[in-house]
Amino acid sequence: MKNKLVIVTGVPGVGGTTLTEKAIEALKKEGINYKMVNFGTIMFEVAKSENLVEDRDQMRKLDPDTQKRIQKMAGRKISEMTADAPVIVDTHSTIKTPMGYLPGLPKWVLDELNPDIIVIVETTGDEILMRRLGDGSRNRDLESTGNIEEHQFMNRCAAMTYGVLTGATVKIIKNRDKLLEEGVEELLSVLK
């Protein structure tokens, strides 16, 4: 049987990475070993090696053709890592660029990854704005709650098209303030 491939998405700052790390820890205790792959990290390795950027938050400002070229290389690399274990790919449904919403999983990337489930991690625009303001470790874009909510709406639209293209199911999981554990439980239910 093919190993499960789950893609976890969410706007920057919603806590997709945190939720995923916690779920993977919990599963390890039950003897289920997922490999976690961060799409942005693989892209950053490529972009840095070509001297295109100095930090990962500069990548979404590159011209779209460059982003797509690196994205495709990352998709290929990740698909090579997925042969021997169930995998969670930590990434984004769309990337907000100066040229508009860039699909995180265009069809040529989906063809490489062949996902079973696409998870969207969400919370309210207000909570995301506050989390971004509190995160000094990253160059998060500061935008209004309305714009954050538009981004989440576009992410839902894009995620469902990825489902239509691949047959993957699309699961929406909430990561509300002070309710991280509930989000982790929900994520666990689709990973098991």
13 is an interface residue for ligand AMP by CB under 6 A? no
Residue closer to Mg ion by CB (options 39, 162) is 39
Phi/psi at 113 (nearest 5 deg)? -90, -35
Interaction partner, residue 187 (ligand AMP, Mg ion, none; CB < 5-8 Å by kind)? none
Name 151's Cβ contacts closer than 8 Å, sequence gap at least 6: 11, 94, 96, 101
State the number of CA atoms in the 13 A half-sphere of 38 facing the CB: 10
Q: Tokens for 178, please give them.
A: 């002070």
Residue nearest to Mg ion (CB): 17
Q: Contacts with Mg ion: how many residues (CB under 5 A)?
A: 1
Q: Which of residues 35-74 bind Mg ion (CB under 5 A)?
A: none
Question: Contact at 8 Å (CB) between 183 and 121?
Answer: yes
Instruction: For the CB of residue 66, give the shortest distance to Mg ion in the complex, in Å.
Output: 21
191 is an interface residue for ligand AMP by CB under 6 A? no
Instruction: For the CB of residue 77, give the shortest distance to ligand AMP in the complex, in Å.
Output: 12
128 is an interface residue for ligand AMP by CB under 6 A? no
39 is an interface residue for ligand AMP by CB under 6 A? yes
Determine the 3-state secondary structure of 104 from DSSP: coil
43 is an interface residue for ligand AMP by CB under 6 A? yes
Burial of residue 94 (number of CB atoms within 10 Å: 0-12, 13-18, 19+): buried
Name 37's Cβ contacts closer than 8 Å, sequence gap at least 6: 78, 81, 82, 87, 88, 89, 90
Instruction: For the CB of residue 14, give the shortest distance to Mg ion in the complex, in Å.
Output: 8
Contact residues toward ligand AMP (CB under 6 A) are 12, 39-40, 43, 56-57, 59-60, 67, 71, 91-92, 95, 104-105
